Structure 1
Amino acid sequence: MPESPSTPTPALSDPVAARIATAFGLGRVLSCRRITQGLMNPNWQLTTEAGSYAIKQLQDRPPETVRDNHRVLPKLAAQGLPVPLPYTTDHGDTLLRVGDDWYTASAWLPGTHLNGHDLTPNACEALGDLTGRLHNALAAALPGAPNRLLDNPTTVHEAQARLERFARATGGGAGDDFDELAGAEIRQRQALLHRIACQQPPPLKVEPAGWTHGDLQPLNLLIEPVTGHVTAILDWDRLDVRGYGTEVVRTATIWFTHPSTGALDLDRVAAFIRGYRTQRLITDTQLLDAAHRRWWQLATGTWQLRLHYDQHDHGCDHLLFSDARLLRWWLVHTEAVNTALTTASTSAR
């Protein structure tokens, strides 16, 4: 795993670190440091006399869900996918409860977190290929999933109601810097939704569908920086059945969006799609529908505001504004995006 910045004082106390090491059979603790990269669950690098380990505290999913997901990982590893295998306690559990908190442990894996602009075109294509192989492996490892799945997009009325509620939460500009910026973004989004209401995607059973990772973003992949080879696919908390196009388009737009301008690197997007299509069949029509639904989610999404104002979690505040930049760029360059998504062959191996 990457050498990430850490806080001066580890957030994991020495007694808790020692208890985790003992329960999972990791050896005597030498050091423990907090990993500051990541958005949801706290993570630490635990170094013992036996080696280095990744420790995660669960905050975003219930223990039962995490246990179920852990059972899938050995099946994926057996198919050659680079996944971290969870350690088990003496009781055979992949989770440990300490007080009110739950923890998992796995090996500390090599690689670093890269952004899309760090990847060569060949590495972008390889990332798409890996995503396709992952979908194939999940289909083989998990019970049969429906090939079609109903997508019922957020309506303009629903989105406007949520935006209005959060507009009141910003305090009318009387709050902090985030309140001011969020208030301005909410007003712009309300006006935009009024203009694009006629472009709302219809409810539809999207296909093809199946088991997906759910969050193949840069912080959940470790990559060897010289070769661009993915060394680990992390964070399986969102494993679920979705449209394959949903995951493919979301992954491409997260990886290959310029952080400052919101512009998509369309050459890299095309390479990613080309790689995916070497592994799985997906038509131009299905990709374009997934893209339409993706930008509609950007236009109607309020999840960052919900985290900030309802859950007092500010870790994803910046994503409100990066999503807004991508949305506005995409609306101007829709035809170019669609071309990038449909230039590769649809034939699969």
Structure 2
Amino acid sequence: GRTVAVVGGHAYALHPWIDGRHRHGGQLTAGQCTRLGALLGAVHACLERVMPPKRHTRPATGPHPVESADPADTLTLIDDLLGHVRRHRPPDAFDELARHRLLERRALLEQHADRRPPRGGPTGWVHGDFHPFNLLYKGDAPAAIVDWDRLGVQPRAEEAVRAAAIFFVRPAGTLDLPKIRAYARAYRRSAGATAEELAAAVHRVWWERLNDFWMLRWHYERGDTRADPQFPAASALVVWWTREYDAVCGAFAE
């Protein structure tokens, strides 16, 4: 009757098959956005109960370190990526957009380098990769959260902000702030998080996005183009987020 077995030093888990489909934020009503925020808050609160703070011994294995990015390192990376773009012949539409966004991001970093946030806020056990493709819906209700391999200890509110930036990004690279407001209020109630905690998390995730180029690194360093369709919206989002910083903070913290 056990769901976990250790074979040859490796742990294996067996779970029942769950039928369902994925839904992005554009397909959710305001009420469903509230339910989504409450669900993630409940996940964080329940993880805290079953794995209390004294057992916070294992860091999350995902790509979201508690230490914020150093803009000097990012500027060096931008130069390296621009070199990759220049060497790609003949240039295509992706190269042109990449060059535009890299130059744009370099200017933004130089302008906002003094806004580097301190280390992350209150930590707790988090799912580690909460986004639309790891949540299954059956009808209008969530049926299962899958893909728990990044379970670990991270600033909890950052997972809430990071998830919202994936669920509620629009194709043009803007965020659906009314839906985020409903989601964030429910998350705060369910997780017991404060408005100040969410506002600080917004700042750290904004900074993370400002310094992040994983999609371009996959494309130019690995030759992996799977994330290319996400790049136009994701690269536009950080520019819009910088311009609408106060409105985004308000949606999460009011």
Q: Assess same fold via TM > 0.5.
A: yes
**CA distance in structure 2 between the partners assigned to 1:320 and 1:156 by the alignment:** 21
Q: In the alignment, what sits opposite 1:50?
A: none
| Structure with the higher fraction of residues in strand conformation | 1
Q: For 1:210, what is the secondary structure of its paired residue?
A: strand
CA deviation map 1:212-235 (0-9, x unaligned):
01111101101124x2x1101011
Q: In the alignment, what sits opposite 2:214?
A: 303
1:174 aligned partner, one-letter code: R
1:193 aligned partner, one-letter code: L
Matched, 1:116 2:25: yes
Q: In the alignment, what sits opposite 2:77?
A: 162
1:1-349 maps to which residues of 2 (within 5 A)? 106-142=15-51, 144-145=55-56, 151-172=66-87, 174-177=89-92, 178-201=94-117, 203-204=118-119, 206-225=120-139, 227=140, 229-258=141-170, 260-343=171-254
**CA distance in structure 2 between the partners assigned to 1:154 and 1:282 by the alignment:** 24
1:213 aligned partner, one-letter code: H
Q: CA 1:175 to 1:195, structure 2 compared with 1: closer, same or farther past 3 Å?
A: farther
**CA distance in structure 1 between the partners assigned to 2:176 and 2:109 by the alignment:** 26
**CA distance in structure 2 between the partners assigned to 1:140 and 1:272 by the alignment:** 22
Verify the 8 A CA contact 2:180 2:251 in the aligned structure 1.
yes
Verify the 8 A CA contact 1:172 1:183 in the aligned structure 2.
no
1:106 Cα deviation after fit: 5.0
Give the alignment's TM-score, normalised by structure 1: 0.64
| Structure with the higher fraction of residues in helix conformation | 2
Q: For 2:191, what is the secondary structure of its paired residue?
A: coil
Q: In the alignment, what sits opposite 1:67?
A: none
Q: For 1:215, what is the secondary structure of its paired residue?
A: coil
Verify the 8 A CA contact 1:112 1:223 in the aligned structure 2.
yes
**CA distance in structure 2 between the partners assigned to 1:135 and 1:261 by the alignment:** 31
Verify the 8 A CA contact 2:127 2:151 in the aligned structure 1.
yes
Structure number with greater Rg is: 1
1:176 Cα deviation after fit: 4.6
**CA distance in structure 2 between the partners assigned to 1:194 and 1:325 by the alignment:** 18
Verify the 8 A CA contact 1:125 1:271 in the aligned structure 2.
yes
Give the alignment's TM-score, normalised by structure 2: 0.85
Verify the 8 A CA contact 2:128 2:152 in the aligned structure 1.
yes
1:342 Cα deviation after fit: 1.6
**CA distance in structure 1 between the partners assigned to 2:42 and 2:184 by the alignment:** 13
1:248 aligned partner, one-letter code: A
1:187 aligned partner, one-letter code: L
Q: For 1:279, what is the secondary structure of its paired residue?
A: helix
Structure 2: stretches of 5+ with no match in the other structure = none
CA RMSD of superposed structures (Å): 2.6
Aligned residues: 244
**CA distance in structure 2 between the partners assigned to 1:242 and 1:265 by the alignment:** 25
Q: Which has the higher contact order (CA 8 A, sep 6+)?
A: 2
